[in-house]
């Protein structure tokens, strides 16, 4: 690496220059946000339905394996050729396909991991099925659901780099252009920014999770109170049941 490293060169951070790091970062976040949102809207309701009723669990269990084995680069190439372009549509479809399995599987697994006696108690108190789902099952399933969401976001942030391969923007541009120009410093810069973004988003979601998940489940705030042992303290880790998965990027 000669001269100023790509990342530290102020010109590469210039907002006025198209194709500078902030532009690429924004585009990358845009692809990520849009595909996670669409994927969530598709997978979450289906996961709730399957987890609540217990019907179709075969679909939820196997979605994860199929999703893991589908090569995103292949799917994206196929979509671009098949749809002959169409802007960001092929990328978003390919990334949504990546988001759906972990969220579907984790929503299902989360609802299944809820203590049946808690559901029985809620029914016995006269809660309607919707109340049981949204006020008992879902809050208790949240740690596992978050696990799936975080896995999905990690995969999408990593995989959105392939957008550059089909001529779109995003941080993958640094990798693809760097490779084409034999500019190794640029490729390393791209690798570093993507990795930092992935880790940063995961930490952010971890923070959100801390504040969204009920303290009754995490044991937070119980350290001084000498109450009954919480789920976390008693050594049960519902999120363990979900195997982590790695995106195709």
Partner 1 sequence: MNEIWTYLQQNQSAVLDALGQHVVLAVLPLLIGVVLALPVGYLGVRFGWLYHPILNVSGLIYSIPSLAVFVALPYVLGTKILSPVNIVVALALYTVALMARTVADGLRSVDPTLTEAATAMGYRRTRRLWEVELPLAAPVILAGVRVAAVSNISLVSVGALLGVGGLGALFTRGFQLFYTAPIIVGIVLSIALAAVADLLIVWLQRAVTPWTRAVKEA
Report yes or no: 112 and 22 within 8 Å, Cβ to Cβ.
Answer: no
- Is 207 a binding residue for partner 1 by CB under 8 A? The answer is no
Task: List the structure tokens of 153.
Answer: 């976001």
- Is 205 a binding residue for partner 1 by CB under 8 A? The answer is no
- Is 103 a binding residue for partner 1 by CB under 8 A? The answer is no
Residues from 113 through 172 that contact partner 1 (CB under 8 A): 154, 157-159, 161-162, 165-166, 172
- Is 249 a binding residue for partner 1 by CB under 8 A? The answer is yes
- Is 37 a binding residue for partner 1 by CB under 8 A? The answer is no
DSSP code string of 143-200: HHHHHHHHHHHHHHHHHGGGGGGGT--STHHHHHHHHHHT-HHHHHHHHHHHHHHHHH
Phi, psi of 58 (to 5 degrees): -55, -45
User: How far is Cα 83 from Cα 228, in angstroms, rounded to an integer?
Assistant: 58
Which part of the chain contacts partner 1 (CB under 8 A), choosing from 13-21, 32-40, 76-84, 224-232? 76-84
Distances (CA, A) of 244 to 19, 106, 235: 34, 10, 20
Residues from 163 through 182 that contact partner 1 (CB under 8 A): 165-166, 172, 175-176, 178-179
Q: Least distance (Å) from partner 1 to the CB of residue 95?
A: 13
- Is 101 a binding residue for partner 1 by CB under 8 A? The answer is no
Among 19, 37, 45, 65, binds partner 1 (CB under 8 A): 65
Closer CB to partner 1, 127 or 188, in the complex: 188
User: How far is Cα 216 from Cα 209, in angstroms, rounded to an integer?
Assistant: 13
Q: Least distance (Å) from partner 1 to the CB of residue 224?
A: 23
Which part of the chain contacts partner 1 (CB under 8 A), choosing from 34-42, 126-134, 188-196, 222-230? 188-196
Task: List the structure tokens of 11.
Answer: 């010109």
Residue 211: partners with Cβ closer than 8 Å, 6 or more residues away: none
Residues of this chain that bind partner 1 (CB under 8 A): 65-66, 68-75, 77-78, 80-82, 84, 154, 157-159, 161-162, 165-166, 172, 175-176, 178-179, 184, 187-188, 190-192, 194-195, 198-199, 202, 240, 243-249
């Amino acid at each position: 690496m000669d001269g100023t490293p790509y990342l530290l060169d102020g010109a590469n951070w210039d907002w006025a220059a198209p194709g500078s790091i902030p532009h690429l970062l924004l585009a990358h976040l845009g692809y990520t946000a849009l595909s996670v949102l669409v994927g969530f809207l598709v997978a979450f309701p289906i996961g709730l339905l399957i987890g609540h009723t217990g019907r179709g669990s075969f679909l939820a269990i196997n979605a994860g394996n199929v999703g893991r084995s589908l090569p995103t680069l292949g799917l994206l190439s196929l979509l671009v050729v098949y749809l002959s372009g169409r802007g960001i549509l092929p990328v978003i479809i390919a990334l949504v396909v990546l988001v759906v399995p972990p969220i579907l599987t984790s929503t299902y697994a989360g609802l299944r991991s809820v203590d049946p006696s808690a559901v029985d108690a809620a029914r016995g108190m006269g809660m309607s099925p919707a109340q049981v789902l949204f006020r008992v099952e879902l809050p208790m399933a949240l740690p596992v659901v978050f696990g799936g969401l975080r896995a999905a976001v990690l995969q999408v942030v990593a995989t959105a780099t392939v957008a550059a391969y089909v001529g779109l923007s995003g941080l993958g541009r640094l990798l693809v252009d760097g490779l084409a120009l034999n500019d190794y410093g640029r490729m390393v810069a791209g690798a570093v920014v993507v990795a930092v973004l992935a880790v940063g988003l995961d930490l952010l979601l971890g923070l959100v999770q801390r504040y969204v998940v009920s303290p009754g489940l995490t044991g937070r705030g119980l350290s001084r109170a000498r109450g009954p042992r919480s789920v976390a303290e008693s050594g049960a880790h519902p999120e363990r049941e979900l195997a982590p998965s790695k995106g195709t990027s």
